[in-house]
Amino acid sequence: MALPSKAVSAPGKVLLAGGYLVLDREYTGLVFGLDARIHVHIQPLHTSSGVTLSEIIVRSPQFKYAIWEYGYRWTGPDGGMQVTHLRVSALQKLQSNPFVETALSYALSYISTVAGPAINPASITILADNDYYSQTAANGKSSSDRFQNFGVPLSEAHKTGLGSSAALVTAFTAALLVHYLPEKQFSLSTDVGRSRLHNLAQAAHCAAQGKVGSGFDVASAVYGSCRYRRFSPSLLESHGEPGSSGFAAKLKSLVEESDPSTTWDTEIVKSAVKVPSGLRLVMCDVDCGSKTPGMVTRLLAWRKEKPEEADRIWKQLQEKNEGLAAELVRLAENKSHDYQQLRECITGIRSLTREMSKCSGVPVEPESQTRLLDACSSVPGVVGGVVPGAGGFDAVALLIEDKEEVISELSGLLERWDHDEQEGSEARVGRVRLLHVREDMEGVRAEDPAGYEGWLQ
């Protein structure tokens, strides 16, 4: 019997407080989910009568040439599923997508340990809400459509820094799980289901990156807005590669936490994050972006070289970050509209961030972003803002009063912003614009498969 079509979405993220600190288990990060989502639709791959394929086709139709075909082969209960990238035609160069390929091999390997190795072929479509990429402003086309055709290869698309890879791996993994596993074995609506999705997506995302990251982006993709303390990196250092001896059993133990050595020590606290009534979070895209891994490497080298200086700043930042979270919760629970203390929290975080930039030589809050944030913060109704996450030239985050006149005034400022003068030594800042995103407390969720007509094949 053919499996029904399924669809899943996962939110983007913004690490409002805790950039760099979140890499260390001693510290935490304040991460907000965003209502910009990555959507994954999965349906059976129809073949001619009597023809059997072990193939999964993945398309991202908003981009040119974004189609990947994979064969899969069961290597036995010990090794799980091995995935092979197939060439669509002899003349076409293989364009790899490590996040899709790794998530596919990890998910199919886990599914084979739960439901057996009989995996039916499938067609998967990936769609991104428009604000993940800067092209919606640059290509002159209307962005009123739910999903924009960006008109460029994926490799040439300018990301806005909303966490597309983590949202993709999470939604992609979830779609495979809900498609191939019956609800009694996996459900997105249960705590156990979300926990297993989190563990599997973390493992796949880290493997695709080639390193064990902090995981805050995957955590928010699964759970939505939360306070996050990272897992111990040693959890993901010894389960091997798909197809290798013992991989499937180790992965299952890691996902289901069936052994004391595979118990995750992540802390995800949703109650620690609230947005007071009357406030909202917005993002300003600077159409430039930073290479986060390079910045992280340089900043961690500074911390190793000058541990006393770095630890002093980090401890002060942790105190300010905790103060920001506590003040947001206090305002929400007391229904207060006195934002002075909140402004002071944000000002303190920015001051320490600039000190960290100066001491490390890493542009966590570059001068051009300082000017932009100062200008935005002067707009009536803007409480304050930060360069979130690893900093640099990704989209800046602002907390503002949720009023149309504030959005209008802020949009006007950004349209008039003289970006020709915003050229620093680190990067060239392009057009600045207000993204159509806001905070989203909800994490991964099932979607109506019928809602993607026109994009499916």
Q: Which residues contact 7 (CB under 8 A, 6 or more apart)?
A: 39, 40, 41, 42, 175, 446, 447, 448, 449, 451, 452
Range of lowest pLDDT (20-24, 353-357, 387-391): 387-391
Cα 288 to Cα 166, 261, 282, 387, distances in angstroms: 20, 42, 18, 13
Could you tell me the pLDDT band of residue 392, with boundaries at 50, 70 and 90?
confident
- Average pLDDT value for residue range 119-144: 76
Strand bridging mode 279-285 / 396-401: antiparallel
Q: Which residues contact 126 (CB under 8 A, 6 or more apart)?
A: 38, 39, 40, 58, 59, 60, 100, 168, 171, 172
- Average pLDDT value for residue range 83-94: 72
Q: What is the DSSP string of 353-376?
A: HHHHHHHHT--SS-HHHHHHHHHH
Q: What confidence tens digit (pLDDT) does each residue in 305-362 have?
A: 999 999 999 999 999 999 999 999 999 999 999 999 999 999 999 999 999 999 999 9
Q: What is the DSSP string of 374-421?
A: HHHHTSTTEEEEE--TT-TTS-EEEEEES-HHHHHHHHHHHHH--GGG
**Residue 399 half-sphere exposure toward CB, CA atoms < 13 A:** 27
Could you tell me the pLDDT band of residue 160, with boundaries at 50, 70 and 90?
confident
Looking at 139-277, list the stretches that DSSP marks H as alpha helix, in order from N- to C-terminal side. Answer: 164-180, 191-209, 216-223, 247-256
Dist. CA 179–CA 4, nearest whole Å: 8
- DSSP-derived letter for residue 315 is H
- DSSP-derived letter for residue 241 is -
Instruction: Supply the pLDDT for residue 90.
Output: 57
Q: What confidence tens digit (pLDDT) does each residue in 30-76 have?
A: 999 999 999 999 999 876 555 557 899 999 999 998 999 999 999 98
Instruction: Supply the pLDDT for residue 89.
Output: 60
Q: What confidence tens digit (pLDDT) does each residue in 230-272 have?
A: 999 999 988 999 989 999 999 999 999 998 889 999 999 999 9
**Tokens matching residue 12:** 């983007």
Dist. CA 359–CA 362, nearest whole Å: 8
Residue 287 has pLDDT above 70, yes or no: no
Q: What is the DSSP string of 197-235?
A: HHHHHHHHHHHHHTS----HHHHHHHH-SEEEEPPPGGG
Across the chain, what does the average pLDDT equal?
A: 90
Dist. CA 405–CA 333, nearest whole Å: 25
Share of the chain above pLDDT 90, in %: 74
Dist. CA 441–CA 33, nearest whole Å: 6
pTM for the whole structure = 0.92
Q: What confidence tens digit (pLDDT) does each residue in 97-117 have?
A: 999 999 999 999 999 999 999
Instruction: Supply the pLDDT for residue 51.
Output: 52
Instruction: Supply the pLDDT for residue 66.
Output: 92
CB 366 within 8 A of CB 392: yes
- Average pLDDT value for residue range 441-445: 97
**Tokens matching residue 356:** 């960290």
- Give the Cα-Cα-Cα angle 92, 152, 170 (nearest 5 degrees): 85
Residue 419 has pLDDT above 80, yes or no: no
CB 81 within 8 A of CB 75: yes
Q: What confidence tens digit (pLDDT) does each residue in 187-202 have?
A: 999 999 999 999 999 9
SS3 303: helix
Q: Which domains does the chain have, with CATH numbers?
A: 6-270+448-452 (3.30.230.10), 276-434 (3.30.70.890)
